């Protein structure tokens, strides 16, 4: 059984964490995130650290113990440093352009795909074939990256499409004569 929950989350300078009832609010230079703590764990903030304890010894309580600690750690890191995901676009004529709260994707379809950027997420296109998604909430950054990638995932023969920067595409051999 994992003992991730035993380790306290250190709250760095410039980040404030307040616990009001079962609602944890973490504020930092990159924004504010909130988390509803379940009744299965007991949480407290003291001396610049966040502690999580089991409320009882049930299976659900043990599962929520490490999960809550990991979520709080991600929140603290998100409001202080932020999270980034980079997408690469491969293929002739495939490109992206970000203007304000819209991302326009030219993916070889008969029309351009327009993606509305949600609040709390920042999208930049330093080159037409690269998309950088950043924000304070780790889950939302990953979800936005997955939604953009879903418009045209990479195909296995030539690797055309949108892929994560660190993703490896398993290539298939083409037709033989």
Q: Answer yes or no: is 128 within a domain.
A: yes
pLDDT confidence band for 1 (50 / 70 / 90):
low
CATH number at 97 reads 3.90.930.12
List the structure tokens of 122: 């920042």
DSSP string over 55-105:
SSS-HHHHHHHHHHHHHHHHHHHHHHT-EEEEEEEESTT-EEEEETTEEEE
Beta bridge partners of 51: 44
What is the pLDDT of the chain when averaged over all its residues? 93
Q: Do 54 and 103 fall into the same domain?
A: no
Asked whether residue 169 is assigned to any structural domain, the reply reads no
Per-residue confidence band for 2, with pLDDT thresholds at 50, 70 and 90: low
Q: What is the tens place of the pLDDT at every residue in 141-163?
A: 999 999 999 999 999 999 999 99
Residues 94 and 156 in one domain: yes
How many CB atoms sit inside 10 A of residue 155's CB? 14
Instruction: Select from 34, 55, 80 the last residue of a domain.
Output: 80
Each residue's pLDDT tens digit, 87-107: 999 999 999 999 999 999 999
Taking 80 as the threshold, does the pLDDT of residue 32 lie above it? yes
pLDDT at 177: 81
- Rg of the chain in Å (alpha carbons): 21
174 or 151, greater pLDDT: 151
pLDDT confidence of residue 5: 83
Distance CA 7, CA 71 (A): 13
Domain that residue 125 falls in: 83-164
CB atoms within 10 A of CB 34: 11
Q: Is residue 9 part of a domain?
A: yes
Structural domains of the chain, count: 2
Residues 157 and 89 in one domain: yes
Residues 77, 9: contact at Cβ < 8 Å? no
């Amino acid at each position: 059984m994992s003992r991730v929950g035993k380790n306290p989350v250190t709250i760095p300078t410039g980040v404030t964490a307040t616990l009001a009832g079962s609602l944890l609010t973490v504020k930092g230079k990159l924004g504010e995130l909130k988390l509803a703590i379940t009744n299965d764990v007991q949480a407290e903030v003291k001396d610049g650290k966040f502690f999580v304890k089991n409320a009882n010894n049930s299976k659900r309580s043990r599962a929520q113990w490490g999960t809550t600690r990991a979520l709080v750690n991600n929140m603290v890191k998100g409001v202080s440093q932020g999270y980034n995901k980079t997408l690469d676009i491969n293929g002739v004529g495939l490109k992206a352009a970000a203007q304000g709260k819209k991302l326009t994707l030219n993916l070889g379809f008969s029309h351009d795909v327009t993606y509305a950027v949600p609040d709390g997420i920042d999208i930049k296109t330093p080159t037409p074939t690269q998309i950088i998604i950043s924000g304070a909430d780790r889950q939302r950054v990953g979800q936005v990256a997955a939604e953009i990638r879903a418009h045209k995932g990479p195909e296995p023969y030539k690797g055309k499409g949108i892929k994560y920067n660190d993703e490896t595409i398993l290539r298939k051999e083409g037709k033989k004569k």
